[in-house]
A and B are shown apart, each in its own frame.
Chain A
Amino acid sequence: MPDLAIFQRDFAEALMADGQSGPSFRSQAFAVYRNTSARGVVEALRASYPTIDMLLGDEAFTQVALEYRRDRPPAGPVLSDYGREFASFLGRQPWTCELPYVADVALLDWLWLESFLASDEAPVPNQFAGNARIALHPSARFAWLSTPAMTIWLAHRDPWSMAELEPDWVEEGALFARPGHSVRAELIDPPLHRMLTECIVPASVADVVTNVASAFPTADVPSLLRRGVASGALILT
């Protein structure tokens, strides 16, 4: 093994070793590297998960972020790519049994980020197509959650509503889309969630309407369609 590779292997191991490494890595000077690389990862995760940072507080977030880093260190240098599995990691932590919404809120932070950074290039509408089709905007992200995580997430984005936050313990749907420069976030109901799911693969409007109407016979499907388009999540092509 070349000397440079041996040096980098030992240095990289010591960076991840929390001060348990060999004598040459015990200096305060080495600690600058260890602290900088750890802090860089923690702060990248904090920037991507601002609501989790608010829910847990600065100190607890740092602890959890360091545990996540041990489990899943960054694979690349683009920090906004980092943290994709943080929500499922949180869901596996024993302490989240008492805070079952935390993993769902983390998922919502990630979906917001994906929507924020998604491509601007929407499918081009084709008004001459005989069979109108419908597709998701590249920035559309949605989820169905077993906790009222979206109500909690929305409240943390709007400090005025925090004081009144007493969510009903029900399942919720969440939708994010960025038709222009800012991400719109909203609660959605099961029929709209079903409609969005039907559009993951671009489909004909007629098929989508039929499938949603048969799953939810009482739903006002045309109004759902209008709502999906108005949110920026659905595009008629």
Chain B
Amino acid sequence: MTPTAGLSFKPVHYEQAMACPAAGLWFEVHAENYMVEGGPRLAMLETLRGQFPLSLHGVGLSLAGIDEPDRDHLGRFKRLVDRFEPFLVSEHLAWSRYDGTSFPDLLPFPRTSEALDVITRNIDITQSALGRQILIENPSLYMQLEGHEWAESLFLAELVKRTGCGLLIDVNNVFVSATNLGFNPLSYLDALPRGVIGEIHLAGHSPDPLLGRSLLIDSHDAPICDEVWQLYGWLLARCGTDRPPTLIERDDHIPEFDVLLAERDKAAAMMAGHREVVHA
């Protein structure tokens, strides 16, 4: 069965997930949550993997960091890749480590040619260590930074050209960044290279408690909003017949499994071309 639309795996939904007959369903987990020696967490993932395609989504390689990826961390990542044979492996266009200190966040940077060289080096190291292609995800951005030399779409296109990586386009991140920084999300999506999007993410966001909807937070704690569904429909249409596997992400205020499955089914229907669900 070709993977179509998937869900981020929540251990609290394990039993419903294992019993779910949805065609094309797959699951994604954060790789770092499974970088442990043993125990029930890994055993649960192994059972899930026996039934569904799995995607490993890394959050800690700090590919935009000035230092090379940590070798020990890459080794742990490689062991997971070897054990679970994921159909997709992805990481972020962000940094999260400086001078030995890690920050559990995905941090921004000026998109300069110097940064492009550093990230190219780090993706090369990662793909060599893992022995496979990875997908790079566009970040949610909150701050205007000075010194950008590249538009993000073109920066991602150049990384694809230099390293052979693919792209993971998070449509919610595009919407959040476009709102926060004041750019047109359709222009952003339209500038992406064609034929290299290996996965799409959809998620919910929330307004900043102080600034409201002028500053959106990529909180993954709410249903996917209409605007993001519309952008998703537009991106699918642009992808033509080559529609990337699409993931519904949810990390907080986790609802019942069926609520997430309904969002997943909507994405699967859109991928299958049921245009009536697109309100674009």
Residues of chain A whose beta carbon lies under 8 Å from any beta carbon of chain B: 2-5, 7-9, 11-12, 15-16, 27-30, 32-33, 36-37, 40-41, 44, 73-80, 116-121, 138-139, 178, 181-182
Contacts and interface: CB of A to CB of B under 8 A. Distances in A.
B103 to A, nearest CB: 4
A37 B103 contact: yes
B27 interface: no
Contacts of B11: none
Contact of B65 (A8, A16, A44, A76): A8
Contacts of B104: 36-37, 40-41, 44, 74, 77, 79
A79 B36 CA distance: 10
Contacts of B38: 117-121, 138-139
Contacts of B215: 28-29, 32
Contact of B73 (A15, A77, A138, A139): A77
A158 B208 CA distance: 38
Contacts of A118: 37-39
Contacts of A79: 32-33, 104
Dominant secondary structure of chain A at its interface with chain B: helix
B210 A28 contact: yes
A36 to B, nearest CB: 5
B105 A116 contact: no
A80 B62 CA distance: 18
Interface of B: 32-33, 35-41, 43, 59-62, 65-66, 70, 72-73, 76, 95-105, 107-110, 112, 114-115, 118, 142-144, 147, 180, 208, 210-211, 215, 217
A77 B100 CA distance: 11
20 contacts: A4-B114, A4-B118, A8-B107, A27-B143, A28-B208, A29-B142, A29-B180, A32-B208, A33-B105, A33-B142, A37-B103, A44-B104, A74-B103, A75-B101, A78-B60, A117-B39, A120-B37, A120-B43, A121-B38, A138-B37
B136 to A, nearest CB: 17
